[in-house]
Structure 1
Amino acid sequence: MISFARILAPSDFSSHSEDALRYACGLAERFQAELHVIHVLSEMVPAGPDPLLMPVMPAQYYEDDEKRATEALATVIKPEWGTPKSVTTAIRWGVAAEAIVDHAAEIKADLIVIATHGRTGLSHVLLGSVAERIVREAPCPVLTVRTAPSGAS
């Protein structure tokens, strides 16, 4: 019998990740599992074509970024999506896929539920896929939730 005690759901606060969080909440309720929601903040600051000219941001910038993310995580789960056994949130700094895989191992997640944007072709090559990398490297099964593209029926 399949059961999950800890489900990890990454969120970037997009509509895509909201759809995946809805799935994760429903599964957590059904299995009476803990739901862990993580948001990864990037230390990279877009600076233009020359990485050597990247500005050094003041500490306040990072503190404000983390505070905004913490506040957003506090309201990201909607009550109508289901009632998990418990909900725990986390903020991590770094590369999204690495931070999510590491966090899944730390909490001993039984399942990761993550959104995929369903990019194909050149956009996939240029932008890569966090979800694809997580599927390859995760210490547990991964459920990818794809939202239908705009205009699709």
Structure 2
Amino acid sequence: MSIIHEIKKVVTPVDFSDNSKLIAESAGYLAGKFGASMYLVFIVQNFEDYSGFFVPQMTLPTLEGELAESAEVKMASFCGEMVDYCKKAGVKELNYKVFMGDVGEKIVEYANEIEADLIVMGTHGYKGLEKIMFGSVADKVVRAANCPVMTINPYTCCK
């Protein structure tokens, strides 16, 4: 049995924050070095998790639907900006998906679905009450993923 694991599919979650491009480019660089395909993913957080915090003026299904549509447009634009970088880096193919649900769970489900060989994602700095209530997405993914997970702290690297 070989312990060498060929990297053919790299999943990278993005959240459209200021650091998303940095994380995506880092993942693209790695995918390019392996001649792998890159799969960007964005998850619209399910509002059921927040139902005790506020009552929106529109219905939740309408709000979630509009957020999903907006995320699709944003993701298409984000990937459009990444195409040239990925080509130069040697990425075999660039794909993207938008899902709705629990962010950590959906990342792991998608990685399993496409049989990803590596997940590359940023860490984030939740602190205090937010960390206690929601936990770290990166921590959830690292614990549940069936493939290696590389986390990147955008505040200490690559700048």
Q: 1:106-143, CA deviations, whole angstroms, 9 ceiling, x for partnerless residues?
A: 00000000100245666533442100110011010000
Counterpart secondary structure, 1:35: strand
Q: How far, CA to CA, are the matches of 1:103 and 1:89 in structure 2?
A: 11
Alignment partner, residue 10 of structure 2: 7
Counterpart secondary structure, 1:70: helix
Residue 139 in structure 1 maps to residue 150 in structure 2: no
RMSD of the TM alignment (CA)?
Answer: 2.6
After the TM superposition, list the runs of 4 or more consecutive aligned residues in structure 1 that deviate by more than 6 angstroms: none
**Residue 78 of structure 2 aligns to which amino acid in structure 1?**
V
Q: How far, CA to CA, are the matches of 2:150 and 2:66 in structure 1?
A: 32
Note the 1:44-63 alignment, pairs <5 A: 44=47, 46=50, 49=53, 57=59, 59-63=61-65
Alignment partner, residue 80 of structure 1: 85
State the 1:85 CA deviation: 0.7
Choose between structure 1 and 2: higher helix proportion.
Answer: 2
Q: Is the 8 A contact 2:12 2:39 kept in 1?
A: yes
Indicate how the Cα distance of structure 1 residues 58 and 138 shifts in structure 2: closer, same or farther if over 3 A, else same.
closer
**Residue 139 of structure 1 aligns to which amino acid in structure 2?**
N
Residue 42 in structure 1 maps to residue 45 in structure 2: yes
Percent identical pairs in the alignment equals 28
Indicate how the Cα distance of structure 1 residues 108 and 118 shifts in structure 2: closer, same or farther if over 3 A, else same.
same
Q: 1:72-107, CA deviations, whole angstroms, 9 ceiling, x for partnerless residues?
A: 111224223534111111111100000101111000
Q: 1:12-69, CA deviations, whole angstroms, 9 ceiling, x for partnerless residues?
A: 111233221111111111111110111101221655647xx67762644333212211
**Residue 136 of structure 2 aligns to which amino acid in structure 1?**
S
**Residue 109 of structure 1 aligns to which amino acid in structure 2?**
A
Relative to the length of structure 1, the TM-score reads 0.81
Counterpart secondary structure, 1:15: coil
Q: How far, CA to CA, are the matches of 1:67 and 1:49 in structure 2?
A: 24
List alignment gaps of at least 5 residues for structure 1: none
Moved more, 22-31 or 61-70: 61-70
